[in-house]
Structure 1
Amino acid sequence: MKYLGIDLGGINVAAAVVEEDGTILGRGRVATPRSGAEAVAAAMSEAVRQAVENTGCTMADIASVGIGAPGVIDPREGVVEYWSNLDFHHVPLVSMLEQRLGKSVCIENDANAAALGEYAAGAGKGSTSMIAITLGTGVGGGAVLDGKLYTGFNYAGLEVGHFVVEYNGRLCTCGRRGCFETYASATALIKRTKELMLINRESLIWQVVDGEIDRVEGRTPFEAAARGDLLAKELVEEYQSYLACGITSLINIFQPEVFCVGGGVAGAGETLLGPVRAIVDREDYARDSARRTILTLAQLGNDAGIIGAALLPLFR
């Protein structure tokens, strides 16, 4: 059986034909139009056509189509309630695509779709439950519990970036203070790096970015710390402590079999995750249990969302 996944992004629309085990057979990609919902639906249809053609099959071979989309999604109604990038308000994207493709279509938030992809074909494959977080512009995430994607009764569950790790702490874009993503996102790490660079002009971090502070990325402090810079080392340790705090809290609530970490900052690999794991091992409430949550890196990279979108009907 073949399934088709669509990853709707602010820059590109990507589509892929996917087997039930998560193997990608063929792809399509077009630029995301800026001219309204009808144009976006047409672009999605074109990406689908390319993916099917590049796979060497026809739409008759496709069991169903799934969309991973940013913004506030109502999967039951098949509607994008709100997406700021394209000013979408209550857009019935599922019905628009079903009319074009003649196939059953389902939709899910892109972070949930990515988590499902990792569960089905990546770090969580074969497990009974998994939580995934992505360290990017914010902190996104999703959960598969007892083999089913968990989204809450109103589809807004697992907003993992917006529980508090520092009471009355840094102001978050959501309006609260001290949210997890204000300490653990790539954005937060970059901002904190720049703040400390301005205090310490002698830090090797300046050399890493060739003296240009606007070139700071999530990996920058890790590179400077690897060169022995004390400021960068303290910065990385501070970041890891907040990341471990949030991860431990999520593990204590859900005790998933697997917890995976992806996104740009996770490119530091075990340099990032090793010290985090040591803190979690020490603070996890179930630390004396014979069965412990496996904390690991995500495996699928940018393919997680498109695989998860394709396999949505199998995990609802």
Structure 2
Amino acid sequence: MYIGIDLGGTNIAGGLVNDKGEILFKHSIPTGRERGSDLVIEDIYNVIQVLIDRNNTDSEVMGIGIGIPGISDPHTGEVLVCVNLNWYNVPLREKLAEKTTLPIYIDNDATVAGVAEFQVAQAGKYNDAVILTLGTGVGGGVLIDGKVVSGHHGIGSELGHMLIGEGLYTCNCGRNGCLETFASSTAIIHYAKHLITQGSASSMFHAVGGDLDKITGEVIFDAAKKGDVVANQVVDRLVKYLSIGIMNIVCTIDPEIILLGGGISMAGDFLIQKVNTALDALKYFKASPVAKVEIAKFKNDAGIIGAAMYAMIHQ
């Protein structure tokens, strides 16, 4: 039995997970990130304790996995950078170790989501695989020879920060041109607003009652599927740069499969068909096979399941 914690900017979500990746019990509370790291860590421990108390099985809890929306030191468990929480050099494992004797394993939230997909949803079918989580930002998880790869400094799977081109705004990492400024929900919302404020007529304007701040990824894709010209311009830009990023990954590690997760992946086949068409045009050896691109199976529970499985495979 393992505990998985999905630490987000909005909620601390935790689950009691068995060795098959099945969630037996879940518990979630608001993060309250504005309170600072000490109080958030106290609440992480409180969630852990609730899950331990609810363990009605004969199996003991063997470890805790935590997925964070940032970068951690794989050796010390220190959170080096977590922009969404405004955390810098926070000794997360050390502080939790003051409260529990259970082993604690920490990694990026997209990396642990990849563990959920590759170890549970795909049942270990692939040895070389990548997940891209297309949400508020773009996260990445990499599996090579069946093992999670985060690199020596813990930043090896930060695929959302590969430089793709000159963007409309600066990434929260401080650079211009990161993949996530083209292929995230933040990016497409930003671009949709840009086009509309520049005078492009779109049904999206009416769909949100003229309040552009209400435009979401779902609004954009719904309009695109109905043939809205501006919405399709936004989606096509996303596909163009996402496909460049995917082909860069293919050139580097040649995975068997690349899974797309996160909120944008809810567009399903509509997105996949466009991405595959773009990838065919980008292939550098036209006759060579490239990684399959599919939608990830797990949705909201990927972080919890993946964090728990991450703890299991690292014991």
Equivalent residue, structure 1, for 2:178: 179
- Cα deviation for residue 169 of structure 1 reads 4.4
- Cα deviation for residue 131 of structure 1 reads 0.6
- Aligned residue among 291, 294, 303 for 1:293: 291
> In the TM superposition, what are the counterparts of 1:160-179 in structure 2 within 5 Å?
160-166=159-165, 168-173=166-171, 174-179=173-178
Q: Aligned partners of 2:202, 2:123: CA distance in 1, in Å?
A: 39
C-alpha spacing 1:68/1:233, structure 2 compared with 1 (3 Å): closer
Equivalent residue, structure 2, for 1:39: 39
- The one-letter amino acid paired with 1:31 is P
- Cα deviation for residue 88 of structure 1 reads 3.3
Q: Aligned partners of 1:87, 1:248: CA distance in 2, in Å?
A: 32
Say if 1:26 and 1:52, in contact at 8 Å, map to a contact too: no
User: What do the CA deviations read for 1:217-272 (whole angstroms, capped 9, x no partner)?
Assistant: 11223222222222322332232222212112212211111200111111111111
In the alignment, structure 1 residue 51 sits paired with structure 2 residue 51: yes
Equivalent residue, structure 1, for 2:204: 205
Query: What SS does the corresponding residue of 2:129 show, helix, strand or coil?
Result: strand
C-alpha spacing 1:6/1:197, structure 2 compared with 1 (3 Å): same
- In structure 1, stretches of 5+ residues that fail to align are none
Say if 1:222 and 1:236, in contact at 8 Å, map to a contact too: yes
> Quick check: 274-283 or 168-177, which moved more?
168-177
Query: What SS does the corresponding residue of 1:61 show, helix, strand or coil?
Result: coil
Q: Aligned partners of 1:99, 1:286: CA distance in 2, in Å?
A: 54
In the alignment, structure 1 residue 110 sits paired with structure 2 residue 109: yes
- The one-letter amino acid paired with 2:91 is P
- In structure 2, stretches of 5+ residues that fail to align are none
Q: Aligned partners of 2:81, 2:301: CA distance in 1, in Å?
A: 24
Equivalent residue, structure 1, for 2:23: 24
Say if 1:170 and 1:179, in contact at 8 Å, map to a contact too: no
- The one-letter amino acid paired with 1:92 is P
Q: Aligned partners of 1:195, 1:314: CA distance in 2, in Å?
A: 45
C-alpha spacing 1:127/1:227, structure 2 compared with 1 (3 Å): same
C-alpha spacing 1:136/1:55, structure 2 compared with 1 (3 Å): same
Equivalent residue, structure 2, for 1:10: 9
C-alpha spacing 1:93/1:236, structure 2 compared with 1 (3 Å): closer
Cα RMSD for the two superposed structures:
2.3
Query: What SS does the corresponding residue of 1:302 show, helix, strand or coil?
Result: coil
> In the TM superposition, what are the counterparts of 1:131-170 in structure 2 within 5 Å?
131-166=130-165, 168-170=166-168
C-alpha spacing 1:285/1:120, structure 2 compared with 1 (3 Å): farther
Equivalent residue, structure 2, for 1:195: 194
User: What do the CA deviations read for 1:291-310 (whole angstroms, capped 9, x no partner)?
Assistant: 64221001111211111211
C-alpha spacing 1:267/1:283, structure 2 compared with 1 (3 Å): same
- Cα deviation for residue 286 of structure 1 reads 5.9
**Runs of 4+ with deviation above 6 angstroms:** none
User: What do the CA deviations read for 1:180-234 (whole angstroms, capped 9, x no partner)?
Assistant: 1221111111111111112345322222223221211112232222222223223
Q: Aligned partners of 1:187, 1:45: CA distance in 2, in Å?
A: 31
TM-score (norm. length: structure 2):
0.89
TM-score (norm. length: structure 1):
0.89
- Cα deviation for residue 143 of structure 1 reads 0.6
C-alpha spacing 1:104/1:280, structure 2 compared with 1 (3 Å): same
- Cα deviation for residue 54 of structure 1 reads 3.5
- Cα deviation for residue 314 of structure 1 reads 4.3
Query: What SS does the corresponding residue of 1:22 show, helix, strand or coil?
Result: coil
Query: What SS does the corresponding residue of 1:62 show, helix, strand or coil?
Result: coil
- The one-letter amino acid paired with 1:301 is K
Number of matched residues? Answer: 312
Q: Aligned partners of 1:142, 1:67: CA distance in 2, in Å?
A: 15
